[in-house]
Amino acid sequence: MLIDQHHRIHDYLRISLTDNCNLRCFYCMPNEDYHFMPHQQLMQPDEILKIAKTFVDLGVKKIRLTGGEPLVRKDAAEIIQSLGTLGVDLSITTNGTRVELFLDQLQAAGIKSINISLDTLQREKFQLITGRDLFHKVHDNIAALMQRGFKIKLNVVVVKGLNEQEILEFVSLTKDQPITVRFIEFMPFDGNKWNSDKLVTWQEMLQQIENKHLLTPIVTSVNDTSKYYAVDGHQGNLAFITTMSAPFCSTCNRIRLTADGKIKNCLFSESESDLLGTLRSGGDLTQLIRGAIWDKHAALGGQFSKEFEKIDANSLHNRSMIAIGG
Ligand code: SAM
Ligand code: SF4
C-alpha cells in the first residue's frame, strides 16, 4: 500500500508517454519553440512495464496513459498492449486526433472508457486554441469510439472570454448521447500566462447551466476529482473539475509519472523523484516510490494559496502541463 504522511492511500497512477504533441493548446504548451524531450530520455516500453508492475505490486489499481499526446508515440500500441496484461483498470486521455489508428489496440487492451479533450464545437475556434485545423478528426473519432462501445468523457477547459459562451452547447451534447462532459477550471502552469481573471469558476458555470436545466448531484467515489451532475431528461452527465476554486486534495489518490520517468506526487509539486534514473542504475524502485509518496504536501504541491485570487502564477515552480502529463 502506498500511503503519505497525511494518511492518503495512493492507488491511481497516471503515466505520461511523451511530452510531444501534434496540437499546440496555448494553456498546455508554452510556445511553438518548446523543445521536446529526446527519445532516449523517455521511458522505453520495457521500462514502462517494469515500473508499472512495481506500482501494481505496491497497490496501484488504476493506470491512465496521458502526455503530451500519448498516441503520437510510435510505440504507443506496444505500450498499451503490454499494460493491458497487468489486470488493472487501464484508461487513456487523448486529444482524439489519432484515435482511428488505435481502435483495435485500445479495445484489445481492455480499455473501456476514454477521455477526449475538446474545448470548442467550432472549427475556427478549435484552430485558434490548438493551432491546428483538426476539429473534424476529433469529431469523427468520438463517433467512431462511441460506435465501438467506448464510454466517452469530454474534457473541456473553460477560459474566460474564449469558450464560456459554449457551455450550454456542450450540455446539449449530453441530451441524446450517453457521454459525460467535464468542465475543467483553467489552471496555472509554466508559460501558460494564467491569471485569475481568466478563470471561470465551477460555481459560475453551474449557475449558467442551472438557468436552463434541472441538475441533480450524483454521488461518486470519494477519490473522484469531479463533481458529477445528472441533467434532467438527458442521457449523459456533467462534471466539474474544481481544482482552483474548490480543491479536492484531502482525498487525492493520484501519483504522476512524467515521460522522462520522474515521479511527481502532485500536479503542482516542485520536487520530483528520478524513478527512471534509479531503474537504469539498478537502484531500489520500491524505496524511492514509497518515499516520494510519503513526502506529498497536504494540498496543491504546497505551492499556492487555496484562494485562487491570491495566486501569482509567476512565482510557481513547475513544468508546463505538456511536460507533466495531465
Ligand atoms: N493530449 C491529451 C489531451 O489533450 O487530452 C492528454 C494530455 S493533456 C495535458 C491532459 C488534459 O489536461 C487535457 O484534458 C487538457 O485539456 C488538460 N489541461 C492542459 N492544460 C491545462 C490547464 N492549464 N488547465 C486545465 N486543464 C489543462
Ligand atoms: Fe497536446 Fe493535450 Fe496539451 Fe493540447 S492539451 S497541447 S492536445 S497535450
Q: Average pLDDT in the 102-117 region?
A: 97
CB atoms within 10 A of CB 54: 16
Residue minimizing CA distance to atom 4 of ligand 2: 25
Q: Which atom of ligand 1 approaches the CA of 21 most closely?
A: 1
pLDDT at 104: 96
Ligand 1 centre from 76 Cα, in Å?
Answer: 19
Q: Average pLDDT in the 135-153 region?
A: 97
**Residue by residue, what is the 3-state secondary structure of 260-314?**
CCEEECCCCCCCCEEHHHHHHCCCCHHHHHHHHHHCCCCCHHHCCCCCHHHCCHH
Q: Average pLDDT in the 66-80 region?
A: 96
Ligand 2 centre from 28 Cα, in Å?
Answer: 6
- State how far the Cα of 58 lies from the Cα of 10, in Å rounded to an integer: 9
Residue minimizing CA distance to atom 8 of ligand 2: 68
What does the pLDDT look like over 178-234, one tens digit per residue? 999 999 999 988 878 888 899 999 999 999 999 999 999 998 877 787 899 999 999
Residue minimizing CA distance to atom 2 of ligand 1: 94
Helix (H) or strand (E) holding 183: strand 180-185
Q: Which residue has the cell 513526502?
A: 295
Ligand 1 centre from 207 Cα, in Å?
Answer: 24
Q: Which residue has the cell 509554466?
A: 190
**Which amino acid is residue 324, in one-letter code?**
I
Burial of 195 (C-beta count, 10 Å sphere; 0-12/13-18/19+)? middle
Residues 6+ apart with CB under 8 A from 255: 2, 10, 12, 13, 14, 55, 60, 263, 264, 265, 292, 293
Query: What average pLDDT is seen over the chain?
Result: 93
User: Is 304's pLDDT higher than 80?
Assistant: no
Q: Are 13 and 61 in contact (CB under 8 A)?
A: no
Q: Average pLDDT in the 75-84 region?
A: 97
Radius of gyration for the chain, computed over Cα atoms and rounded to the nearest angstrom: 19
Ligand at shortest distance from the CA of 187: 1
Q: Which atom of ligand 2 approaches the CA of 321 most closely?
A: 3
- State how far the Cα of 36 lies from the Cα of 214, in Å rounded to an integer: 45
Q: Average pLDDT in the 110-134 region?
A: 97
User: Is 30's pLDDT higher than 70?
Assistant: yes
- In CATH terms, the superfamily for domain 2-324 is Aldolase class I (3.20.20.70)
> Which range has the worst mean pLDDT, 31-40, 51-60, 224-233?
31-40
DSSP state of 82: H
The upper half-sphere exposure of residue 73, i.e. CA atoms within 13 Å in the direction of its Cβ, equals 27
User: Is 78's pLDDT higher than 90?
Assistant: yes
Ligand 2 centre from 65 Cα, in Å?
Answer: 13
DSSP state of 3: B
Q: Which residue has the cell 499546440?
A: 24
pLDDT at 82: 97
Choose between 245 and 222: higher pLDDT: 245
% of the chain with per-residue pLDDT over 90: 77
* Ligand 2 lined by 28 (C-beta under 6 Å): yes
Ligand at shortest distance from the CA of 91: 1
Q: Which atom of ligand 2 approaches the CA of 157 most closely?
A: 5
> Which range has the worst mean pLDDT, 90-94, 150-154, 162-166, 249-253?
249-253
Q: Which residue has the cell 434532467?
A: 232
Helix (H) or strand (E) holding 180: strand 180-185
Partners of 273 in beta bridges: 263
Q: How confident is the model at residue 301 (pLDDT cuts 50, 70, 90)?
A: confident
Buried-exposed string 62-83: b where 16+ CB fall within 10 A, e elsewhere? ebbbbbbbbbbbebbbebbebb
> Which range has the worst mean pLDDT, 35-39, 77-81, 106-110, 214-218?
35-39
pLDDT at 95: 98
Q: Which atom of ligand 2 approaches the CA of 94 most closely?
A: 2
Q: How confident is the model at residue 17 (pLDDT cuts 50, 70, 90)?
A: very high
- State how far the Cα of 281 lies from the Cα of 262, in Å rounded to an integer: 14
User: Is 32's pLDDT higher than 70?
Assistant: no
pLDDT at 250: 85
User: Is 112's pLDDT higher than 80?
Assistant: yes
Give me the sign of the Cα torsion angle 147, 99, 156, 307: positive
Ligand 2 centre from 74 Cα, in Å?
Answer: 17
